Structure 1
Amino acid sequence: AADNLQIRAIIHLWHFDENDEQIADAESLETVQKTGIYSLLLILQTFGNQSPDEPVRLLYVASHSQSLNPQEPIAYAKATVPGLLKTIPQEIPHWHCRHIDLPLESLEVNSTRILEELTTDAKDSEVAYRDGERWVSGLEKLNLPSLPKQALPFKTGGTYLISGGLGGVGVEIAKYLLQHYQAKLLLLGRTPLPKKDCWETNLQQGGKVADKILAYQQLQQLGGEVVYQAVDICNVTQVQQVVQQTLSQWQAQLDGVIHLAGFMQERLLMEETPESFAQVLHPKLLGTLVLHQLVEKQPHSLFINFSSINGFFGGTTVGAYAAANSFLDCFSHYQRYQERLNSYCFAWSMWDEIGMSRGYQMKQLSEAKGYLAVGAPQGMSSLLAGLCHNQPYLIVGLDGRNPNIRRFTALSDSLQQLTAYFTTNGQGKPDVSFLEHQITDAFGKPSRCAVVELPKMPLTERGEIDIDLLSQSSLGSSIQERVQPRNELERQIAQIWREVLGVSKIGVYDNFFELGGNSLLAVQLMNYLEKEFGNSLLLSTLFQYPTIEQLAALLIEESRSSFSPVFPINSNGSKVPIFGIHPAGGTAFCYFDLARLLGPEQPFYGIQALGIEKGQEPLTRVEDMATLYLSAIREVRPNGPYTLLGWSFGGAVALQMAYELTIQGEEVAFLGLLDTYAPSKLPDEQNLVEGEEMVFQLLGGTISVATEEFKKLTPEEGTAFILEKAQQANVVPADFGVADIERLLQVLRVNYTAARNYSPPSYPGSMTLFRAEKGSIGLSLEIISTMGSTLGWAEEAIAQVEVQTVPGYHEYMLYQPDITTLAQKLQACLEQALNNGKLNLMY
């Protein structure tokens, strides 16, 4: 019986107490977390795997946990919980969480309020009761130019501590203070710098340590003074010792702290441990407390906290980080209004390609939610504007037009409308005008209700009122017959809508928002669509195309027009980028290890075949592929010089691309073919498209299938066999099916046909062929030996063919251990091209 127990409601009351005293040390702060956020995490992990068919309500009831005005005391130790509560529904949608702050009034009054909150479907995640009124949290857009101004709170020659000081954002702030205020800066960070006599070697090797050394050197060349020290920011003794020593050397006192230090790692809440959670929490909890103690006895000292929007909004896979920042937001409020420090808190969306956001791959999804990337100039301007207008708390980087943001700024949700429908049955129309003005919600607040008369009430097959059909009706319009999905794409979208909305009957003309959709469900829907179809749509798209029919048409159009075959493997670095063209299997993931071995300063882009994604038809001619790919790479690099690389079939496409670039007047600095056979030397197709060669081309050389074993299978058995082997090797997603394998097989066969039909042009440039020393598993050495040392390319009209022999087989050359030698030889060829003046270092 216990196994079948389904928990539907949880009330957490451990933080509803009279204690609003502040925490004096790290141990006391940790104790509060045990009864708060860690207990909630344990509750979630205990009951989070229950059936999603039954929603779970979680109420966190606390006192002194929200402050409605500066005079109210705030128990900041409890403030980690809001970030967690806002994350839970984003990861487990059937959990509904609410943070309720209650005053210490009568037991009867508070019990009634808790029961009302428990039984009401309000969407509010934060609620506070004061003087009998129910308050909910929201956002207010500020017009800074209209607000009073003050001087910036920095002193010329002032002394400031910057935690996280050699991170990207810290360096930007340090530059400003050194250049404009000749400040003395103590930068604290986690990573020790190497001894100074090793710096030159580190700089040549590149990497994160080299970036910090270079940033430190640049700061030392500016005005003022700067010192960097590596410390554990959570260790109060260590931090105080470093600060005292530095201030003694400067004979100065600390004028302010700029707290940027933080740590983020992505992990679902169900997978968190107390240790992993604490690793993210501590820099913002204990670290903030340690830094606060440096200035707490100096009233009006400057303290600038750098927080994140996750503290207010939560965030999937960043629950610990959201909790850490919701604490920081609250603590900054405490500093200003109870400790009388000159404190500020800036909650950022993300600094574009700076600090923690460097290399962030989900920028488009974040923008769909209304979280915009902030460039360094914008970030510094926003920081200075907030300081000179004396704003204690600002969220920076939100798209105010986005529905996900608007729901916090509007007084009511304009996407939904309470509507009452009635019929008269010929008995005359009653007076229902009072309904439009005299409806109240569960909390006694006035609510609007539109009233619509229908000639006939829609009924289900069982004779009950069809609520679903009523819900999808446009306000004031007649209810039309629901049109069922008419093709496979519409049926797939409809099924996703059913899962997201929990509605069984859906037609292609139904409006997502009229079926009960809201901004959060829209985000969930877009995630499902991206997972199912591979199309990353902006959230705003749903407001332009709110029906299944419109979405289906849009997805078809997107697959035709917006697909780009080019994707970044490493978009950083200062060298001329390499474009790696896919082999016959169509994917370009095979280049990942090669890009890594070439180093962080070598940009590398992969090029994927059309037809890999659902809804696409593959191209059948090498010439057409070259034209499409050149158009795509010009979006990344409009002009030469260009570096092209192709493995196997990809080498033929790379050659055609190089030819077209040359006749267009562009410079091809380097053309590399990785064991590509000249088309005239290719054996019969049936000898090549089978066994190990097929599997390696499809799945990137990660598994092996004996050719003789594969020959015995029918085509259908072969497809199922490949899928089984791939799943056993864990190289495809769990939901990867036979249809996905068949789609890849189609691309593979089309590319082999394209290779056999390809006639290489007369190419006036040079080509470097990297030949596999052991030949190919799929071809006999006798066949390969007839091709000659250039694999047949000497017989084509190529001006110059240089051959580099690399160890291993054709199928293994891009995998360890053979790839190490290949990377070294490729690097040497690129450097030689650089020395010959063919490659520019910067681009």
Structure 2
Amino acid sequence: MRASRDEPRTVPPLRPDASYLLTGGLGGLGLSLARWMVEQGARNLVLIGRGRPRPEAQETLRALEAAGARILVLQADVSKREDVRRTLEEAGRLAPLRGVVHAAGVLDDGVLLQQDWERFTRVLAPKVDGAWHLHELTQGGELDFFVLFSSAATLLGSPGQGSYAAANAFLDALAHHRRALGLPALSINWGPWAEVGMAAQLASRFQAQGIEAFSPDVALGAFGRALGHGQPQVTLMRVHWPRYLEQFPRGAAPTLLAELGGRPEAGSEAGERSSPELRRRLETAEPRQRLSLLMEHVQGEAVRVLGLDASSPLEPRQRLFEVGMDSLMALELRNRLQNTVGASLPSTLVFDYPTAEALASYLHDEVLGLRQQPGGSAPGEAEDSALQRIMELSQDELAASLEAKLSALMEEGS
């Protein structure tokens, strides 16, 4: 019987006489989910991973077995159909399979021009191929649930994660396809988890954007409620929308997000009256103080992007790429500065001006036009300064800057 996507559903019980399969089951997220399933009554779990369990994972597995669960750990590559077939057969011998959670995945972030097909397929294979194999090979069974762990990156976008967003978009579409066939399916667009999962290492960057990470206990409670939600796709994330929207230039945020964050529409009377706080401070400051204000602002934004201690500001002439900034962080810093100064900035901004001093001077002189004419540069000095900055770049910085410039040219020509 075809399930109605509008019909309310209760949370499927986790039965002691059934087996449940978790891909990505040996990672921190998978083990947290396995522990929760045992607490909910599951007694037969099949955990799939590409490698052997690490010592900390083995400790968790022993604890689950001590709680009365039978845990079958299988090494398998879910992107390979025969591996998936074998694991399903093993699960069926343990107990009738009644639930699947597909949480396998890898990250390989990089801006578009750094990507190639090998890197792209490395991210797609475990999610896309794995999900499709599970979909095809379980259609003859009687599943209570078929859950796909997708990502909020598919909905909101995430710098450098084009391949990851595409892979998760496939999971979302597959969930809708299965429901149209009358099969159980739920795709969860997760926000970041704290402590476990691939996004845990990026927690400080998410927090700077207004996205708070779930503690594992809160996330698992939300997971249990999502199972009974009745929709093929749900999003679970914690967002402070006004702070999240700060990364967009005014008027550039998608309409739905602007409404969630309470931001006035572009061109509205309220939007036209408002101006970035930094611009207001600059307008009321003495001319000789403006460069210092910009310097403090650039240093503060760079510290936030880098996730450094705010009590220890960057040195004005410290090269940002020497203190941990990468190409994705450079784009994030450019976006934040673009929003606060209220003007469009080049995508190669941080590569062209790789120190807080150079960035502040560029914003002061070229973007905001605050350069005092009597002290202006003599003819040719600007060109000499630009040449000097180029000569100071490392080979990696030069290559990244060239890639960013080519990307900008391609966007302009499209």
- The TM-score normalised by the length of structure 1 is 0.33
Check the 8 A contact 1:158/1:184 in 2, yes or no: yes
**Structure number with higher strand proportion:** 1
Structure 2 equivalent of residue 340 of structure 1 = 182
The 3 A distance-change label for structure 1 pair 377 and 492 is: same
1:301–1:341: 8 Å Cα contact kept in structure 2?
no
Code of the aligned partner of 1:181:
G
Residue aligning to 1:160:
20
**Equivalent residue, structure 2, for 1:230:** 75
Shift of 1:346: 1.5
For residue 4 of structure 1, what is the aligned residue in structure 2? none
Q: Aligned partner of 1:232: which letter? A: D
Question: What is the CA distance between 1:280 and its match in structure 2?
Answer: 0.4
Partner of 1:262: 105
Match of 1:402 among 222, 226, 242: 242
d(CA) in 1 for partners of 2:57, 2:233: 30
Residue 304 (structure 2) pairs with residue 536 (structure 1): yes
Aligned length: 315
SS of alignment partner, residue 185 of structure 1: strand
Q: Which residue of structure 2 lines up, in the alignment, with residue 415 of structure 1?
A: 264
Distance 1:274 1:346 in 2: 27
Question: Which letter does structure 1 place at the counterpart of 2:88?
Answer: V
**Superposition pairs for residues 509-548 of structure 1, below 5 Å?**
534-536=302-304
Answer yes or no: is 1:309 the counterpart of 2:152: yes
| Partner Cα distance (1:292, 1:370) in 2 | 35
- The letter of the residue matching 1:490 is R
Deviation sequence 1:721-742 (CA, Å, 0-9, x none): xx9998669899999xxxxxxx
Q: Is there any run of 5+ residues in structure 2 with no aligned partner, and where?
A: 246-253, 324-354, 358-388, 402-414
| Cα offsets for 1:35-63 (capped at 9, x unmatched) | xxxxxxxxxxxxxxxxxxxxxxxxxxxxx
The alpha-carbon deviation at position 533 of structure 1 amounts to 5.8
Question: Does the 8 Å CA contact 1:231/1:238 hold for their aligned counterparts?
Answer: yes
Give SS of 1:255's match. Answer: strand
- Structure-2 residue corresponding to 1:716: none
SS, match of residue 379 in structure 1: helix
Distance 2:243 2:36 in 1: 35
Between the aligned residues of both structures, percent identity stands at 23
> Which residue of 2 is the match for residue 789 of structure 1?
none
Match of 2:209 in 1: 369
2:214/2:237 contact within 8 Å kept? yes
* Alpha-carbon distance in 2 for matches of 1:264, 1:531: 29
Q: One-letter code of the match for 1:217?
A: R
Matched, 1:253 2:113: no
Does the CA-based 8 Å contact 2:242-2:261 persist in structure 1? no
- CA distance in structure 1 between the aligned counterparts of 2:199 and 2:136, rounded to whole angstroms: 29
More helix by share: 2
Within the alignment, does 1:280 sit opposite 2:140 as a pair? no
Which structure 2 residues correspond to residues 323-362 of structure 1 after superposition, within 5 A?
323-336=166-179, 338-358=180-200, 360=201, 362=202
In 2 relative to 1, CA 725–235 (structure 1 residues): closer, same or farther, beyond 3 Å? same
Distance between the aligned counterparts of 1:259 and 1:344, measured in 2?
10
Q: Residue type of the partner of 1:234?
A: S
For 2:230, the equivalent position in structure 1 comes to 390
Aligned mate of 1:320, from 159, 163, 170: 163
Distance in 2 of aligned mates of 1:530 and 1:257: 48
User: How has the CA–CA distance of structure 1 residues 286 and 353 changed in structure 2, closer, same or farther, with 3 Å as cutoff?
Assistant: same
| CA distance in 1: counterparts of 2:238 and 2:122, whole angstroms | 28
CA distance in 1, matches of 2:185, 2:14: 13
Determine whether 1:490 maps to 2:290: yes
Q: What's the counterpart of residue 139 of structure 2?
A: 296
Distance 1:148 1:728 in 2: 59
Relative to structure 1, is the Cα distance of residues 412 and 324 closer, same or farther in structure 2, using a 3 angstrom cutoff?
Answer: same
Q: 1:415 to 1:278 in 2, by over 3 A?
A: same
Q: Distance in 2 between matches of 1:411 and 1:216?
A: 42
Matches within 5 A, 1:14-29: none
- Taking the aligned partners of 1:398 and 1:346, their CA distance within structure 2 comes to 14
Q: How far apart are 1:70 and its partner, in Å?
A: 6.2
Q: Give deviations 1:317-352, integer Å, cap 9, x for gaps.
A: 11110111111111112112x222221121111110
Q: Is the 8 A contact 1:156 1:181 kept in 2?
A: yes
Is the 2:17–2:96 contact (alpha carbons within 8 Å) kept by the matching residues of 1?
Answer: no
User: What residue number does 2:86 align with?
Assistant: 241
Cα distance in 1 between the residues matched to 2:131 and 2:356: 49
Checking the alignment, whether the CA contact within 8 Å between 1:530 and 1:537 is kept in structure 2 is no
Question: In the alignment, what sits opposite 2:56?
Answer: 211
Q: Deviations over 1:401-451 (max 9, x none)?
A: 4364795252897423546xxxxxxxxxxxxxxxxxxxxxxxxxxxxxx69
Q: Which amino acid counterpart does residue 265 of structure 2 have in structure 1?
A: Q
- The equivalences for 1:699-738 within 5 A come to none
Q: Select 2:10's aligned residue among 146, 150, 160.
A: 150
Displacement of 1:357? 2.8
The answer (yes or no) to whether the contact 1:351–1:373 under 8 Å persists in 2 is yes
SS of alignment partner, residue 181 of structure 2: coil
Contact residue 187 and residue 232 of structure 2 kept, 8 A: yes
Give distance in 2, aligned partners of 1:157 and 1:487.
76
- Structure 2: which amino acid aligns with 1:367? Q
Equivalent residue for 1:457? Answer: none
Tell me which amino acid in the other structure corresponds to 1:394. V
1: CA distance, partners of 2:236 / 2:289: 39
Correspondence 1:181-200 to 2 at 5 A: 181-193=41-53
For 2:5 and 2:56, the matched residues in 1 are separated by 42
Note the residue ranges of structure 1 that are not aligned, 5 or more in a row.
1-68, 72-146, 194-208, 420-449, 452-470, 497-527, 539-557, 566-584, 591-612, 616-722, 736-843
State the 1:272 CA deviation. 0.6
Q: Which SS does the other structure have where 1:166 is aligned?
A: coil
Residue by residue over 1:154-202, the C-alpha shift from the partner in whole angstroms, topping out at 9 and shown as x without a partner, is: 2233211100001111111111222331421111111135xxxxxxxxx
Cα–Cα, structure 1 residues 412 and 537, in superposed 2: closer, same or farther, change >3 Å? closer
Q: 1:792-816: per-residue Cα shift (whole Å, max 9, x none)?
A: xxxxxxxxxxxxxxxxxxxxxxxxx
In the alignment, is the contact (CA less than 8 A) between 2:172 and 2:187 conserved in 1? Answer: yes
Shift, 1:387, TM fit: 1.8
Structure 2: distance between partners of 1:734 and 1:492: 29
Cα distance change on mapping 1:326 and 1:485 into 2, 3 Å:
farther
Distance 2:76 2:166 in 1: 23
The SS at the match of 1:402 is helix
Q: Under a length normalisation based on structure 2, what TM-score does the superposition of the two structures give?
A: 0.64
Contact 1:153 1:387 in 2 (8 A): no
For residues 313 and 182 of structure 1, what CA distance do their matches in structure 2 show?
34
Alignment of 1:594-673 (within 5 A): none
Q: 1:530 and 1:212, CA in 2 relative to 1: closer, same or farther beyond 3 A? A: farther
Evaluate the alpha carbon distance shift between residue 474 and residue 191 of structure 1 in structure 2; reply closer, same or farther with a 3 A threshold.
closer
What SS is found at the alignment partner of 2:10? coil
Tell me if the contact between 2:299 and 2:356 (Cα under 8 Å) persists in the aligned partners: no
SS of alignment partner, residue 351 of structure 1: coil
| Alpha-carbon spacing, 1:151–1:186, altered in 2? closer, same or farther (3 Å) | same
What's the offset of the Cα at 1:216?
2.8
Q: Which runs of 4+ in 1 moved over 6 A?
A: 723-726, 728-735
